[in-house]
């Protein structure tokens, strides 16, 4: 017999699904290095990974391949738990290797032969080229090599993709840094032509700021969007664009050196290392509403230090770029550096067709504490008023004001909290206090927090 509460539950489920849009499956590629932390992260989270790409093969200028996959990954692959698409790099990202290799057909044939053999031997699904420091003068020969590689790999039924450094335009100015980047790092990739010869482009939308620059976000949302817009404007199909997601973070400290004077020393600590740095310095993260990443600044001995992290919060915002542009998927650099909570976000999507919050905001709204307090106060009063048997009235209220509510409290928050609760108690029977009243649950949770996400929470 369908009871009253079950009926309500059903109605609610329908309403709930109505404003959640089913997320198109997206491909989750995770890069992995040979270090233990990186390998462990993949081993622990393999169910949330569609493709694991170990950075473990290199070529020299003669097309001689060297490297090999770590036994831990090979075992996971042999057991059918992960698909391996290893990276092959020009060793040390040496530009000269590319300049020579791209002009020697014999060397290319040697390399392709080895790649095919190695892939068959170890059951790789294919290869991804990670050829970087590609000079702009090598642009056409690189495209030709990619086209040639594709023919060979397709004959052998191997998948083939390439990493490309992003850009938001073809640079024509005279800023020395941007000119250097254009001529030596990102201008050599002919995105449109390349996209015709690969399964997809791994669009490395990170490294907006590096150890070679001043402090700043690894990937601010406007920069990511501008790079995506540029590639799409050239005609690259969205289905061939995999969005680069940084799993790493930046730490810039001002240091003094007798020879160099005062200068900035940038590094990329893991998330756990970042937490320690913050804790040691009594610093906490704050959300940058412009960049849409969490950051912190503090002083040590009169010198400023800056931290920019890429965590679950910035991931959610970036997934909206993926969703809004209907991109193919994501490629994340690199396992082991990440905020552990990113896996909760990634597990909600793709394979099992989880829902994803609809948003009509290109600029993702972020609640302010005041907005939040006011909304919560109103909700709390209502919740109290209609407690017990009159929940459905509250529910109606929620449905009616859902839009307003959603705009005040960013949709990411309820979505995240709802699923977090679900994950913690996946087998919990649906009760009148749980799913139908997720908004109320949410408010309760937010009440407890009543603040922007920060480090203490994690
Ligand atoms: C081209 O590559 C082949 C294979 O590695 C090598 O034997 C040959 O010497 C190279 N040619 C030149 C001109 O470097
Ligand atoms: C890999 O190749 C197979 C067959 O060639 C194809 O069906 C599949 O879609 C490819 N996968 C990716 C990730 O491109
Ligand atoms: C930057 O700091 C790290 C230690 O945190 C040190 O190992 C490294 O040598 C420094 N780099 C430069 C260029 O000063
Ligand atoms: C951090 O705060 C604690 C307690 O207030 C204090 O003892 C410590 O010196 C502070 N550390 C720094 C680096 O400011």
Structural contact between residues 35 and 335, judged by C-beta atoms closer than 8 angstroms: no
Phi, psi for residue 352 in degrees, rounded to 5: -90, 15
**By CB neighbour count within 10 A (0-12 exposed, 13-18 middle, 19+ buried), where does 179 fall?**
middle
Structural contact between residues 265 and 253, judged by C-beta atoms closer than 8 angstroms: yes
Structural contact between residues 247 and 342, judged by C-beta atoms closer than 8 angstroms: yes
Position of tokens 């005609």?
235
pLDDT in tens, 233-292: 999 999 999 999 999 999 999 999 999 999 999 999 999 999 999 999 999 999 999 999
Selected from 3.40.50.300, 3.20.20.80, 3.30.450.20, 3.30.365.10, the CATH number assigned to the domain covering 24-247+309-353 reads 3.20.20.80
Structural contact between residues 135 and 183, judged by C-beta atoms closer than 8 angstroms: yes
Nearest ligand (C-alpha, residue 281): 4
Name the average pLDDT for the chain: 81
* Overall average pLDDT of the 328-354 stretch: 79
Domain boundaries, the chain: 4-20+362-457, 24-247+309-353
Rounded CA separation 293/276 (Å): 19
pLDDT in tens, 402-452: 555 554 444 444 444 444 555 555 554 433 333 333 444 444 444 444 433
Closest ligand 3 atom, CA of 255?
Answer: 14
Q: Which of 276, 280, 282, 300 is the pocket-test mutation for ligand 4 (most atoms within 8 Å of CB)?
A: 282
pLDDT in tens, 118-169: 999 999 999 999 999 999 999 999 999 999 999 999 999 999 999 999 999 9
| C-alpha 110 to ligand 1 mean position (Å) | 10
Please give the pLDDT value at position 179. Answer: 96
Nearest ligand (C-alpha, residue 102): 1
| C-alpha 95 to ligand 1 mean position (Å) | 17
pTM: 0.76
Cβ of residue 161 lying under 6 Å from some atom of ligand 2: no
| C-alpha 280 to ligand 4 mean position (Å) | 8
How many Cβ atoms are within 10 Å of 357's Cβ, its own excluded?
Answer: 22
Cβ of residue 159 lying under 6 Å from some atom of ligand 2: yes
Residue 382 has pLDDT above 80, yes or no: no
How many Cβ atoms are within 10 Å of 409's Cβ, its own excluded?
Answer: 22
| C-alpha 217 to ligand 3 mean position (Å) | 20
Position of tokens 């009063």?
381
């Amino acid at each position: 017999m369908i009871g009253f509460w079950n009926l309500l539950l059903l109605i609610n489920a329908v309403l709930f699904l109505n404003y959640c849009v089913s997320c198109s499956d997206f491909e989750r590629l995770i890069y992995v290095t040979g270090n233990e932390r990186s390998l462990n992260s993949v081993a622990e989270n393999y169910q949330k990974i569609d493709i694991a790409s170990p950075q473990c093969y290199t070529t020299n200028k003669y097309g001689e391949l060297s490297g090999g996959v770590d036994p831990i990954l090979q075992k996971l692959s042999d057991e059918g738990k992960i698909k391996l698409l290893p990276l092959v790099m020009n060793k040390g990202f040496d530009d000269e290797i590319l300049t020579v290799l791209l002009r020697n057909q014999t060397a290319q044939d040697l390399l392709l032969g080895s790649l095919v053999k190695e892939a068959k031997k170890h059951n790789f699904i294919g290869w991804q080229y990670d050829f970087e420091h590609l000079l702009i003068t090598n642009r056409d020969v690189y495209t030709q090599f990619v086209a040639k590689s594709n023919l060979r790999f397709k004959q052998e039924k191997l998948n083939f993709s390439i990493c490309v450094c992003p850009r938001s335009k073809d640079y024509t100015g005279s800023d020395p840094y941007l000119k250097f980047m254009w001529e030596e790092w990102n201008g050599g990739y002919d995105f449109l032509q390349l996209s015709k010869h690969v399964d997809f482009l791994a669009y490395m939308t990170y490294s907006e700021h590096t150890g070679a620059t001043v402090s700043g976000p690894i990937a601010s949302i406007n920069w990511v969007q501008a790079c995506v817009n540029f590639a799409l404007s050239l005609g690259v199909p969205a289905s061939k664009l995999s969005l680069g997601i940084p799993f790493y973070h930046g730490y810039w400290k001002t240091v003094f050196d007798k020879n160099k004077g005062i200068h900035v020393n940038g590094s990329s600590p893991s998330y756990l290392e970042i937490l320690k740095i913050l804790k040691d310095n009594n610093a906490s993260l704050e959300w940058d509403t412009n960049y849409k990443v969490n950051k912190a600044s503090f002083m040590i001995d009169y010198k400023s230090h800056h931290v920019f992290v890429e965590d679950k919060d910035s991931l959610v915002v970036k997934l909206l770029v993926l969703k809004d542009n209907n991109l193919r998927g994501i490629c994340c650099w690199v396992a082991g550096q990440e905020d552990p909570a990113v896996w909760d976000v990634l597990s909600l999507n793709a394979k099992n067709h989880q829902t994803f919050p609809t948003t009509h905001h290109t600029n993702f709204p972020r609640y302010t504490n005041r907005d939040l307090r006011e909304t919560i106060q109103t909700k709390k009063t209502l919740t109290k008023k209609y407690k017990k048997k009159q929940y459905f009235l509250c529910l109606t209220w929620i449905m009616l004001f859902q839009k307003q509510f959603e705009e005040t409290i960013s949709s990411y928050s309820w979505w995240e909290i709802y699923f977090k609760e679900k994950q913690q108690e996946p087998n919990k029977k649906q009760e009148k206090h749980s799913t139908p009243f997720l908004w109320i649950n949410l408010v309760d949770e937010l009440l407890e927090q009543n603040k922007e996400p920060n480090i203490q929470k994690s």
